[in-house]
Structure 1
Amino acid sequence: MREKPDQSTSVPWWYKLSWLLSDWLQKVLIGVGWLILLLVRPGRAIGLLVSEKRNRQPLDAEEEA
């Protein structure tokens, strides 16, 4: 992802617009990728999500202890 334009300097409007669009487009592409994965291989997509949650749980348990 590109660096956000600095607010203190004068930046052309088209540069700000391109930065906003690149951030938005990146999120849309990630969402579309997950949607395609869910449609083509739903078991794999769910497995990835579950394994991601399992990886986070031990960290939360250690913080509570």
Structure 2
Amino acid sequence: MMARRKISLGELAEKVDITPANLSILKTGKARAIRFSTLEAICKILDCQPGDILEFRDDGKE
């Protein structure tokens, strides 16, 4: 979605007001959680829905 909107990781991080390192963790799928306010801000800036940028992965833990 970032490529479609032609926005860099650094620019998105600045607009969402999180560190580029934290945004990178989200982008690579290594994050265990995300605040709804952060998700909302990312979706507003990228003009998308959460389902456009999130993917469910079953890690096998219950």
Normalising to structure 1: TM-score of the pair?
0.28
Of structures 1 and 2, the one with the larger relative CO (CA 8 A, separation 6+) is 2
Normalising to structure 2: TM-score of the pair?
0.29
Name the structure with the higher helix share: 1
